[in-house]
Amino acid sequence: MIVLTIVTWVLSGLLALVNLMAGGMKVLKPHGGDKPMPTLADFSDTQVRLIGIAEVLGAIGLIVPALTGVLPWLTPLAALGIAIIQFLAIFAHRRHSEPFVPNIVMMLIALVIIVLRLVGA
């Protein structure tokens, strides 16, 4: 059981870090005409910021509730939210003929975290 707990925390930490960096870039970078990624050119500045906020909140939700024990049921919900964001990102990247394998990997990691958190790891 300790191995599953370690795996869960490592996966949660990695996924949180990736989403914190990606979301932070979308929230903090001035957008104007220059978006952080070509895929985001299809979205308004407000939409890009909202996507970034969702990613940052998902990263926080992966770690803080499970770490503090306060509302730990939020952690699987945060992972589900990240999985949904990554699922939708696949279509945005495909539209621009960009690689979307990282999105699939992050979505699968989020789904594994959900399962591991629900079994108590």
Write down the pTM of the prediction: 0.90
Cα dihedral 103, 37, 17, 14 in deg (nearest 10): 30
Distances (CA, A) of 106 to 2, 30, 69, 82: 23, 26, 24, 8
Query: Domain residue spans in the chain?
Result: 2-118
Q: What is the pLDDT of residue 82?
A: 98
Question: pLDDT averaged over consecutive 10-residue blocks of the chain (121 residues)?
Answer: 94 97 88 70 89 97 96 96 97 91 97 94 71
